[in-house]
């Protein structure tokens, strides 16, 4: 069953020679994306995973379906900036090009906590780790676009951005566990997903030679969903129904990011809902001052990191 008029089996372009990196590639939408991309004859796919053994298991599973899949497992813990830097260095040392960077990995509504670098754990994982990966691989992406005509950054977000706290992002307390009171976990998750959208928008403005978009995959029955407690599962199910949407399989849930990675993009920097439907920005999404604040804060936090 396809979603709309676009289906990767029929509509995805040939990827011969292209190099792709997918974070969170060991499960859910990331693994489904790699499985679909591998069928289009790419040169190499980096399956980035926090746990190298889980990444290897996923790679073996993918190769059972696509024996010739050129998958390389890459250790990358997005909650650790040193791990992200090591992953970027490995990619830069092994490859001369990077055509698609799919920022797929994420955590949702987890308990309060700090990353090893001292940041609120959801913001560290969902935004800051990906921002460093992008920053360190940006020159390679620019070079690829110049030599081969196109390079893309696809950032996954979710409707959860609507649960962000007052002001959108609480910058002044990101170096803490952030006690945001009632509804703290979804608020912390919401600001990280808002950051994904704003950062992709700003990236596109600063790098017009690249295609940089954010996408909402819709609700899908992935491990990220099934591993939630009953209260969060109920909340996700009800809010999905209230939006007039339905729960998709993990395979179908990956369609929108596959579309963004391979199809013609109407508006660079935009947010797209399934499949390829432009979402008109409202509220914080069109707040240029907040977007600039996020960029400046991120650059400041990452200034010490280089390849």
pLDDT tens column, 84-104: 999 999 999 999 999 999 999
pLDDT tens digits for range 7-20 = 999 999 999 999 99
What pLDDT score was predicted for residue 1? 35
pLDDT tens digits for range 154-199 = 999 999 999 999 999 999 999 999 999 888 999 999 999 999 999 9
Q: What is d(CA 210, CA 141) in angstroms, rounded to the nearest whole number?
A: 8
**DSSP conformation class of 162:** G
pTM: 0.92
Whether the bond between 131 and the residue before it is cis, its omega within 30 degrees of 0, is no
Residue 71 near residue 79, CB atoms below 8 Å: no
pLDDT-above-90 percentage for the chain: 84
Tell me: pLDDT of 201 over 90. yes
CATH code assigned to 8-220+251-301? 3.40.50.720
What pLDDT score was predicted for residue 110? 85
DSSP lists the bridge partners of residue 73 as 47
Q: Which residues are catalytic?
A: 189
**DSSP conformation class of 218:** -
The order of strands in the sheet holding 152-156 is 71-75, 44-49, 19-23, 100-103, 152-156, 211-215, 271-273, 277-279
HSE-CB at 205 with a 13 A cutoff on CA atoms is: 11
**DSSP conformation class of 84:** H
Q: What is d(CA 249, CA 202) in angstroms, rounded to the nearest whole number?
A: 31
- What stretch of H or E contains 220? none
**Radius of gyration over every alpha carbon of the chain, rounded to an integer in angstroms:** 18
Q: What is d(CA 190, CA 184) in angstroms, rounded to the nearest whole number?
A: 10
Q: Which of 120-129, 181-190, 214-223 has the lowest mean pLDDT?
A: 214-223
pLDDT tens digits for range 142-161 = 999 999 999 999 999 999 99
The residues, ordered by sequence, that sit 6+ positions from 206 with a Cβ below 8 Å of its Cβ are none
Residue 83 near residue 116, CB atoms below 8 Å: no
What pLDDT score was predicted for residue 5? 80
Q: What is d(CA 62, CA 41) in angstroms, rounded to the nearest whole number?
A: 14
Task: Break the chain into its structural domains and give their ranges.
Answer: 8-220+251-301
């Amino acid at each position: 069953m396809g979603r709309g008029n676009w289906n990767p089996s029929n509509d995805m372009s040939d990827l011969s020679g292209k190099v792709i990196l997918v974070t969170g590639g060991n499960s859910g939408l990331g693994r489904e994306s790699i499985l679909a991309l591998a069928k289009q004859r790419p040169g190499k796919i980096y399956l980035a995973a926090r746990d190298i053994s889980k990444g290897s298991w996923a790679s073996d599973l993918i190769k059972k379906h696509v024996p010739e899949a050129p998958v390389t497992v890459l250790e990358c813990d997005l909650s650790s900036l040193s791990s992200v830097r090591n992953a970027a260095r490995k990619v830069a040392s092994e490859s001369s090009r990077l055509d698609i960077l799919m920022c797929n990995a994420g955590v949702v509504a987890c308990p309060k906590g700090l990353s090893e670098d001292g940041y609120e754990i959801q913001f560290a994982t969902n935004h800051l780790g990906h921002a460093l990966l992008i920053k360190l691989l940006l020159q390679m992406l620019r070079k690829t676009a110049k030599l081969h005509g196109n390079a893309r950054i696809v950032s996954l977000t979710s409707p959860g951005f609507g649960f962000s706290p007052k002001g959108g992002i609480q910058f002044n307390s990101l170096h803490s566990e952030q006690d945001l009171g009632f509804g703290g976990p979804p608020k912390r998750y919401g600001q990280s997903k808002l950051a994904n959208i704003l950062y992709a928008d700003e990236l596109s403005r600063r790098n017009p030679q690249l295609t940089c978009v954010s996408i909402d995959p819709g609700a899908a029955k992935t491990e990220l969903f099934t591993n939630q407690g009953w209260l969060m599962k109920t909340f996700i199910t009800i809010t999905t129904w209230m939006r007039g949407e339905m729960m998709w399989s993990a395979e179908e849930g990956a369609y929108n990011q596959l579309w963004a990675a391979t199809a013609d993009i109407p508006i660079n920097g935009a947010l797209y809902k399934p499949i390829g439907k432009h979402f008109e920005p409202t509220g914080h999404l069109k707040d240029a001052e907040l977007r600039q604040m996020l960029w400046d804060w991120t650059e400041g936090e990452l200034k010490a990191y280089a390849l």
